Homo-oligomer: A and B are copies of this chain.
Amino acid sequence: MKKASIISVGNEILSGRTVDANCAYLSARLLSMGIPVVSAYTSRDDTEAIVRSLELACADADVVVTTGGLGPTEDDLTRNAVAEFLGVELEIRPGLVAELERFFVRRGLRMPERNRIQAYVPAGAEPIENSLGTAPGIRVETKGKLLFVLPGVPSEMKGMFEGSVVGQVEQFGGGQFVVVKRLRCFGAGESTIAEMVGGIMERGRNPLVNCTVNQDGITLDIVATSENREMAAEMAAKDEEVLRARLGDLVFGTGEQILGEVVGQELSRQGKTLAVAESCTGGLVAKLLTDVAGASRYFRCGWVTYDNRAKMAELGVGAELIERYGAVSEEVSRAMAAGARREAGVDFAIGITGIAGPTGATEQKPVGLVYISVDFHQGCDTKRCTFPQDRASVRRRAALTALNMVRLKLKA
């Protein structure tokens, strides 16, 4: 199987000013063409350092893509490094000079002398056209390896990759197909999920099953590789079936689906409506629901009753409930949900109250304690949660847990 390596060039990445999203883009695209990226290097704007990255990447892989360092300023050194790596000189290409001049003319400008450097290409290499900017790319085949040198501006890089690189890489690729199936899970930790799925996650297996955790839950990627596209798809589908059987309700979606979207689709399908009453999550549940276009079909109204007076005035939560049990209590979360359902005239309503921290805790009620209620025609479910992390995580976990409760309710 052919492999790829990526080099990102630029001090702006190594100083933390820029997050290197180019690398993720290229990795995903190369993988989808059956060429997994096996390593990535970030080099500073220094000829020697770039040359060394080229050596390392070419030792790792058959296809190497670099981004960055092709601009007209003194810290743009990738073209020099490529020439040095190849052991050749940079030579000016009159055709590129003319193209550069046209680029400026179209904008009513005269080409600054400085941009002339962008018409230089290592001897024996081919330029790659850049229709969006001034920096042409470079393509070179050396010792059986394909090297593509692209600019760092994301729109230019993507345009050139899709327009010029993809076709050549596919020809070069050599018959391997990779199908990635992604299962999105919520409701259990990474280790629980690993135990449930068992040996299917073994390294070296094909399909390879990878597990990643982020704030929105756990993602399982099934990466199936085969010389036959249908076969790869079949292998991935088979693993998906196994994983779904083992994980059951923990799987909430596939691909890039998010909980708010899945809940919305199901509400929409069932013709049900939803309202939310939030205290500690402060609008986050409503925000997650309305992140999805078309949410007005099922989402009616949200209240952020941050203040106890608002809980009483807007949702009819009894003062005596707050006094007896405290604003952070099962009783108040239930009253909030019931009030929201009544007030909005909807099928389901969420009520959330808790202590997001870092302050506000008492001995009985620690930071991270959250009560979540879902009120519906036949009753009201409540979950008492204690989330272990910082304010932002507590809020996010609480909001997602609420959406997940509605999801499971809609399944029941």
Contacts and interface: CB of A to CB of B under 8 A. Distances in A.
A228 interface: no
Interface string A313-328: 1100000000000000
A115 B71 contact: no
Interface in A95-111: 103, 106-108
A302 B293 contact: no
A81 interface: no
A142 interface: no
A19 B28 CA distance: 11
A171 interface: no
Interface stretch (A121-129, A209-217, A239-247, A374-382): A209-217
A38 interface: yes
Given A190-B71, A286-B283, A293-B356, A23 B25 contact: no
Contact of A26 (B11, B16, B49, B304): B16
Contact of A114 (B191, B295, B307): B191
Contact of A301 (B208, B221, B307): B307
Nearest to A28: B16
Interface residues of A, number: 116
Interface stretch (A229-237, A384-392, A402-410): A384-392
Contacts of A19: 19-21, 23-24
A194 B393 contact: no
A143 interface: no
A305 B323 CA distance: 29
Interface in A161-218: 180, 189-192, 194-195, 201-203, 208, 210-215
A295 B281 CA distance: 12
B293 A282 contact: no
A96 to B, nearest CB: 15
Tell me which of A23, A212, A301, A314 has the highest count of chain B C-beta atoms within 10 A of its own C-beta: A212
13 contacts: A11-B208, A14-B27, A14-B38, A16-B23, A38-B49, A45-B203, A72-B190, A103-B388, A106-B386, A112-B192, A132-B390, A283-B290, A303-B303
Q: State the 6 A-B residue pairs at the shortest beta-carbon distance, nearest first.
A: A282-B290, A16-B28, A283-B286, A302-B304, A283-B283, A16-B27
